[in-house]
Amino acid sequence: MARLACYACGETVEAPASPRCSCGEPRWYETESTAVGDVADIEWPSDLDAGTWAFADLLPVDPPTDGLATASGGTPLVRTPALDDYAGAAVSIADEGRNPTGSFKDRGTAVGIEIALAEGNDAVGTVSHGNMAMSVAAHAAAADLECTVCVPNDISDERIRNIGRYDPRILRIDGEYGRLYYDAIEAGAERGIRFINSDSPGRVAGQKTTVLEALAQHRRRTGALPDAIVLPTSSGGHASGAYKGLAELRAAGLIDADSEPGAANAMPRLYLVQAAACAPIAEAATRGAETVDPVDPGETIAYSIANPEPPSGTRALYGARETGGTAIAVADDAIREAKRRLATAAGLTVEAASATSLAGARRLARDGEIGPDEDVICIATGSGFKESVGDPTDVRTETVSLEALPDAL
Ligand SMILES: *Cc1c(COP(=O)(O)O)cnc(C)c1O
Ligand SMILES: [Zn+2]
């Protein structure tokens, strides 16, 4: 049976159990092969076609045979030399916008939903006003599960429509959004609704495959692991998964923590990027603090990474530091410029939150954290095709009569 573990105090419990440890920190699934010490079993998959489930050996539930849950992952890692000068390093973009609902959240939802089904749940829920809400609603619809989505009352109509297309029950919550995360898990458990929130253990397990897959692709192309990974971060769920994946590879000997930097199997440094207007993890990093405290958020175009009270923030920062990385913040102007650069130089449409990865790589290179000859994977967490927030207003157009076309060209 699967077990849940706490990275902070080491306590383990048998699943199903609360997603939070008695010490207050979040739990994640023990990976069976590492839990029993049989780490030699972990290998790079020879075939990545199964997407998220190519890493089934490292996941806490059996793979589905059909349906939307089989459709996540398998996203391209695009080497983009046109962005190298801008970033100050050799850049590859992991295009997570290519998932079924347009973000990496589908990897975590796919695993979360399979666990819910395996444990006999017939209703799921989530607390989100964006990508996670769409992802959970879509996967619940495809698995024929009841779905409740809790959103803040002031959510935009555009987002309501994007979530509503999958026909979940949508509760507009009037109250403190940070507390909602905890209250929903507790009240949901009493009502038989399993909440798959941003850092729920099943989600973290699924989301570790973003980095595992990108590393496998990088290794296939170059024969080596990248030097750094840059990841837009909000709740810290994705970052926790990224670190867990790296730690599992290290435990299996596929990453050698003692290698010289630049060696083919050296530990890639994990850098977390936040928007300056809401950067609790980056602020803790700057302070040299071990724990992440809530902040008073300002406005940012990177709305998908604006959690002022990240439930896995402390774990995410711990993970980044364990790899030799850290957490930084970038301003909205830099995010806007990086988003535009991704489109105009590389043809990639990402949402503002995701452009923080490129903006972050540029900052890190300028600060000397990343060297000009280093290979960097920027995780483009979500597609920019869902909403127009942050898109350019100075689009170039001219009106030309058909007769005048030859002269106009
Ligand atoms: C959810 C999300 C993030 C942040 O992930 P966390 O696990 O909350 O840190 C980043 N980018 C996009 C596009 C997202 O949807
Ligand atoms: Zn603990």
d(CA 211, CA 131): 19
CA 225 / ligand 2 centre spacing (Å):
31
Which residue from 106, 173, 96 is spatially nearest to 134, judged by alpha carbons?
106
Q: Which of 196, 197, 274, 305 to mutate to test the pocket of ligand 1 (most atoms within 8 A of CB)?
A: 305
Beta pairing partners, 127: 150
Q: Per the omega criterion (within 30 degrees of 0), is the bond before 60 cis? A: no
Tokens 């990385």 correspond to what residue?
325
Cβ of 383 below 6 Å from ligand 1: no
Cβ of 232 below 6 Å from ligand 1: yes
Which atom belonging to ligand 1 lies closest to the Cα atom of 316?
9
Cβ of 235 below 6 Å from ligand 1: yes
Cβ of 234 below 6 Å from ligand 1: yes
- Output the DSSP codes for 199-238: T-HHHHHHHHHHHHHHHHHHHHHHSS--SEEEEE-SSSHH
CA 318 / ligand 2 centre spacing (Å):
14
Cβ of 281 below 6 Å from ligand 1: no
Cβ of 241 below 6 Å from ligand 1: no
Q: What is the pLDDT along the chain (409 residues), one digit of tens a residue?
A: 689 999 999 999 999 999 999 999 999 998 866 554 555 567 888 899 999 999 998 999 999 999 999 999 999 999 999 999 999 999 999 999 999 999 999 999 999 999 999 999 999 999 998 999 999 999 999 999 999 999 999 899 999 999 999 999 999 999 887 789 899 999 999 999 999 999 999 999 999 999 999 999 999 999 999 999 999 999 999 999 999 999 999 988 899 988 988 899 999 999 999 999 999 999 999 999 999 999 999 999 999 999 999 999 999 999 999 999 999 999 999 999 999 999 999 999 999 999 999 999 999 999 999 999 999 999 999 999 987 777 777 888 999 999 999 999 9
Q: Which of 230, 304, 317, 387 to mutate to test the pocket of ligand 1 (most atoms within 8 A of CB)?
A: 304
Residue 270 gets which letter from DSSP?
E
Cβ of 203 below 6 Å from ligand 1: no
Q: Where are the alpha helices (H) located in 149-200, listed in sequence order?
A: 157-164, 177-191
Cβ of 382 below 6 Å from ligand 1: yes
pTM for the model: 0.96
Query: 339: which 2 tokens?
Result: 């988003």
Which atom belonging to ligand 1 lies closest to the Cα atom of 235?
8
